[in-house]
Amino acid sequence: MRNRRNFLKMVSGGALAATAAPQVARTAAAAPMPRGKIGDLELGRLMLGTNHITFYMHSRGLRYVDELSRQYNTDEKIFETFAMAEAHGINTFMTHSEPRIEKLFKEYRDKHGGKMKWIIAPWIDGDGKQVNDLEGYNRVVPRLIDGGADALYVPGMLAGPLVNEGKGAMIGEMLNIIGASGVPAGVASHGLDVVQYCETNKLPVEFYVKTFHHLKYPNAPKPEELAALRERQERYPRGDLKADYAEVPGYWCGNPEETAAFMKGVAKPWIAFKVMAAGAIGPQDGFRYAFENGADFILAGMFDFQIADDATVARNVLVAAAKRPRPWCA
């Protein structure tokens, strides 16, 4: 299913030059992708993720995977990926701030006619330093807006530790900085506790970006492993967050049933990510589980040759998920 040959059948002549990216969008035929809204933004329910483009692949200890992605996803290939996504109704790219990717995406819009929306998490400044305080947010948010960002969100790398360390109020201040810029403001997390904190304290969150996948794949953590991790977290609440996610065994949502139950009562758009547990779950299974159990959008990392199949899966699954328990919030 996730086969490069499917992509090659869709384009004439095999490999495409970077300048051909807009032609991919014109020649590739696809049915429309169902959409939802965050604020005034009309967004396809399947969104393009970033790890395969920023080369932070979750590989469960297979260290060569980052370099393999780096060798495949040249700048030209990234342009092709953006164009292929647009051709199949995927009109939104989500990433964290990183100078190289910002430059590439802006070039795709300005020089290749790209129309994709851009949702970005302020995380890395233009000089390569992490943005983890209010001074940094006041500096970086205007720069990202000027660069064309359509929405911004506080990344889980910040939100999780802030809640864990008793500093969750700072998330609200970061959201206020984003909101003052006039674009939708969201919060991302691996842990459900971040969403619960934001809702309990009525922070000005307009959308959530929360991990969501089941634990029924072969190398998922065993229930007793998760129980031990949660016990440790309860005993040492200011410690690490490994009950929420771990690279080995690879999981990023340790409590999917609890997550689905809580999100059912949250009347805000929910973008689910890591729905395939970084490749351990197939798109048919992962997309179905996420949409049927409440996600309004799915964020998925996709290579160019995976996009056509994944978009078809998303459209079909959305039809089947029409009568899900959680109301659509976008």
CATH class held by domain 4-320:
alpha beta
Of 79 and 22, which is predicted with more confidence?
79
Residue with tokens 């409440």: 294
Distance, in Å, from the CA atom of 74 to the CA atom of 53, rounded to the nearest integer, reads 9
- Token digits of residue 270: 């929910």
User: What pLDDT, on the 0 to 100 scale, is given for residue 20?
Assistant: 41
The pLDDT tens digits for 178-187 are: 999 999 999 9
pLDDT tens digit string along 17-26? 333 444 444 4
pLDDT digits (tens, 9 = 90+) for 250-309: 888 989 999 999 999 999 999 999 999 988 999 999 999 999 999 999 999 999 999 999
The secondary structure of the chain in percent helix, strand, coil, rounded to multiples of 5, reads 45, 15, 40
Contact of 215 with 260, CB cutoff 8 Å: no
What does the mean pLDDT of the chain come to? 86
Give the residue from 2, 22, 1 showing the smallest Cα distance to 11. Answer: 22
Hey, what are 283's tokens?
A: 């798109």
User: Three-class SS of residue 300?
Assistant: strand
In this structure, the strands spanning 297-300 and 46-48 are parallel
Model's pTM, two decimal places?
Answer: 0.87
pLDDT band at 231 (very low <50, low <70, confident <90, very high): confident
Q: How confident is the model at residue 324 (pLDDT cuts 50, 70, 90)?
A: very high
CB 87 within 8 A of CB 28: yes
Instruction: Quick: pLDDT tens for 305-316.
Output: 999 999 999 999
State how far the Cα of 188 lies from the Cα of 211, in Å rounded to an integer: 8
Q: Distance between CA 213 and CA 257 in Å, rounded?
A: 9
